[in-house]
Amino acid sequence: MAERLDPWGTLEVKDYDRLRRVFGIRPFQEVIPKLREAGFEPSLHMRRGILFGHRDFDKVVLEGLRSGGRVAVLTGFMPSGRFHFGHKLTADQLIYYQRTLGLKVFVAIADAEAFAVRRIPRREAVRIGVEEYIANLIALGLDPDETEFYFQTNRGAPYYRLIQLASGRVTAAEMEAIYGDLAPAKVVSALTQVADILHPQLEEYGGYTGVLVPVGVDQDPHLRLTRDIVDRLSGVVRLTRPASTYHKLIRGLDGGKMSSSRPDYTIFLTDPPEVARRKLMRALTGGRATAEEQRRLGGVPEACTVYDLYLYHLVPDDEELARIYRDCRSGALLCGECKRMAAERLLEFLEAHQSKLEEARETAWSLVEPPSF
């Protein structure tokens, strides 16, 4: 049976390179020199290999900007739980594209999907969408003036027209081959995501010449479906295939998936600092059984969820990160001290972030029109 990715599942990836090759995703490293040539410094996640793959980033984004095109970046958040450090990884990318490349940002609150696939009550999905997702994005630094936030169920006729058009250009067998599941809620959710990805190109939504979609690799099925549908709508509506980038998924504190449904192993941006500290102090590390053994053999940062937090979020300086890596490997740094250092940084971040949240929540409610039911 062909290998499949499940956008609604709990993917744990051991070998990203293999996955990249299986699904025909290009290595992101190949576009970094082109990004520099175009005058843009790569982001922290690009430099550190957290962004490991892309489709058409050079063609749609770099070539688009070079030729004077208007490029947008779009992502969606399903309002089914609290905003955590996995979501922050996507937020940081949006902020980078907005500030460094000057891209217009679209953020879909996937309330249709939350209701259909996760059975989240409508009012709850709306509240989570505004107070968790939009508010945290703003508090992290996304500029609301250059961002369009919307709820899927409130997006208007041309967007819905795209869903109908897409539904006529794909067969049940193809959907099954991509998703492995034909539950009506999932089919409708997948086609709605096609409209999310493509609609910024319509005149009614700005007529952007290209759209970039940064995702975790588990979301690639939606990109493959969208690209096929673009080709099949040729002659009906003028659209170009979206570009996409793929990031490695940050692990939860036990080494499993970081997810709202696993609160003990996930740090939320609204966790009271002491709660976050307790979770971090219990985190799985790559340390040895005893201090003596660790001094002798060194730790394994690649196996350590505390090191993940440094790598993805807590240490912006590359040299400092390299020093932590070396000291861990050599045994000069022991896990107790290392965790205390991580906790200090984490708490500092959370306190600063949470001090901005209340105001960001008020702003967030003024930025979107909540669906009426």
* Interface ranges with ligand SF4 (CB under 6 A): 285-287, 299, 301, 304, 306-307, 328, 333, 335, 338-339
SS (H, E, C) the chain: CCCCCCCCCCCCCCCHHHHHHHCCCEEHHHHHHHHHHCCCCCCHHHHCCCEEEEECHHHHHHHHHHCCCCEEEEEEECCCCCCEHHHHHHHHHHHHHHHHHCCEEEEEECHHHHHHHHCCCHHHHHHHHHHHHHHHHHHHCCCHHHEEEEEHHHCCHHHHHHHHHHHCCCCHHHHHHHHCCCCHHHHHHHHHHHHHHHHHHCHHHCCCCEEEEEEEHHHHHHHHHHHHHHHHCCCCCCCCCCEEEEECCCECCCCCECCCCCHHHCCECCCCHHHHHHHHHCCCCCCCCCHHHHHHHCCCHHHCHHHHHHHHHHCCCHHHHHHHHHHHHHCCCCHHHHHHHHHHHHHHHHHHHHHHHHHHHHHHHHHCCCCCC
Of 195 and 335, the one with the shorter C-beta distance to ligand SF4 is: 335
We find the least distance from the C-beta atom of residue 300 to ligand SF4, in angstroms, to be 6
Contacts of 32 (CB under 8 A, 6+ apart): 42, 46, 47
Of 80 and 305, the one with the shorter C-beta distance to ligand SF4 is: 305
We find the least distance from the C-beta atom of residue 283 to ligand SF4, in angstroms, to be 8
Of 224, 210, 217, 194, residue with least CA distance to 110: 194
Of 136 and 285, the one with the shorter C-beta distance to ligand SF4 is: 285
We find the least distance from the C-beta atom of residue 341 to ligand SF4, in angstroms, to be 8
Task: Provide the phi-psi class of 72: left if phi over 0, else alpha when psi is between -120 and 50, else beta.
Answer: beta
Of 275 and 341, the one with the shorter C-beta distance to ligand SF4 is: 341
Of 53 and 301, the one with the shorter C-beta distance to ligand SF4 is: 301
Of 88 and 339, the one with the shorter C-beta distance to ligand SF4 is: 339
We find the least distance from the C-beta atom of residue 281 to ligand SF4, in angstroms, to be 11
Of 137 and 333, the one with the shorter C-beta distance to ligand SF4 is: 333
We find the least distance from the C-beta atom of residue 259 to ligand SF4, in angstroms, to be 22
Of 104 and 339, the one with the shorter C-beta distance to ligand SF4 is: 339
Q: What span, in angstroms and rounded, lies between the C-alpha atoms of 93 and 80?
A: 21
We find the least distance from the C-beta atom of residue 349 to ligand SF4, in angstroms, to be 18
We find the least distance from the C-beta atom of residue 310 to ligand SF4, in angstroms, to be 7
Of 306 and 314, the one with the shorter C-beta distance to ligand SF4 is: 306
